[in-house]
Chain A
Amino acid sequence: QLQLQESGPGLVKPSETLSLTCTVSGASISTTNYHWGWIRQPPGKGLAWIGSIYYSGSTYYNPSLKSRVTISVDTSKNQFSLKLSSVTAADTAVYYCARLDRNTAMVSADYWGRGTLVTVSS
């Protein structure tokens, strides 16, 4: 059974870089039909796409975050990672990692991690 698990600091200081890793188990991240993505949800608010990556390293980023986001993949560890720089309180959110179907333009996420809350505060 495919499982995704987010990990990383739950507290980040303003202006610093948020770093999260998603570990995939039960399937190889080097599969041709899927992208691997990050989605976030501020407390009490809606979902927002951050971006996604293919195992080859090609990426797609939300234009509103593109200047601050880097998503990378480590196929040897079956992991992909998110870095978000220059964070502010507005970046406080639950961050989810998910598997995205390439055949649906990466809009359908069929497997999700449980999510991890990242708070930006000094």
Chain B
Amino acid sequence: QSALTQPASVSGSPGQSITISCTGTSSDIGGYNYVSWYQQHPGKAPKLMIYDVSYRPSGVSNRFSGSKSGNTASLTISGLQAEDEADYYCSSFSSSGTGVFGTGTKVTVL
């Protein structure tokens, strides 16, 4: 059960859009529509931002959106704001019967 692959870092200027990719296999992302995304600020617990590939929990800004194509899921943040600077993790259900996290991406707002 290997971790899903994410870019180590992504950056953008305020107001821009950025996309974070999360690549897995047919045994996880490609095989199920159970992909979640989490935001984690330093020293804090993760916060659920997206579930079931593209659904936002109540209270999460509509600037955050998710999608999936084949074995790769993506999180897009539009209208980037300073408060979006954080680490982001994807997670998928896997054929092993449990979840698997991505390697994590540090988002920097320039």
Stretch from B9-17, B19-27, B88-96 contacting the other chain: B88-96
Within 8 A of A (CB), among B51-73: 51-52, 57
| Inter-subunit contact A105/B93 (CB<8 Å) | yes
> A49 → chain B, closest Cβ, in Å?
5
Instruction: State which of B32, B47, B97 has its C-beta within 8 Å of the C-beta of A60.
Output: B97
| Inter-subunit contact B52/A51 (CB<8 Å) | no
| Inter-subunit contact A46/B51 (CB<8 Å) | no
| Inter-subunit contact A48/B32 (CB<8 Å) | no
Q: How many A-B residue pairs have CB under 8 A?
A: 74
For A, the interface residue count at a CB cutoff of 8 angstroms equals: 25
Q: Does B104 contact A (CB under 8 A)?
A: yes
> A88 → chain B, closest Cβ, in Å?
19
**A-chain residues with CB within 8 Å of residue B52 when the two chains form the complex:** 104, 108
**A-chain residues with CB within 8 Å of residue B36 when the two chains form the complex:** 104, 107-109
| Inter-subunit contact B102/A105 (CB<8 Å) | no
Whose C-beta in chain A lies nearest to the C-beta of B100?
A: A49
Q: Does A113 contact B (CB under 8 A)?
A: yes
Stretch from A21-29, A61-69, A74-82 contacting the other chain: A61-69
| Inter-subunit contact A96/B101 (CB<8 Å) | no
Instruction: State which of B35, B38, B47 has its C-beta within 8 Å of the C-beta of A47.
Output: B38
Contacts A/B (CB < 8 Å), 27 sampled: A39-B46, A46-B102, A47-B38, A47-B40, A49-B91, A51-B98, A60-B98, A61-B98, A62-B1, A62-B96, A62-B98, A64-B1, A96-B45, A104-B36, A104-B52, A105-B93, A105-B99, A106-B98, A107-B36, A107-B91, A107-B99, A108-B34, A109-B46, A110-B48, A110-B51, A110-B57, A114-B45
Closest 8 CB pairs of A and B: A108-B51, A112-B45, A105-B93, A105-B34, A46-B104, A108-B36, A107-B99, A47-B101
Which residues of B line the A interface, CB within 8 A?
Answer: 1, 3, 32, 34-36, 38, 40, 45-48, 51-52, 57, 89, 91-93, 96-104
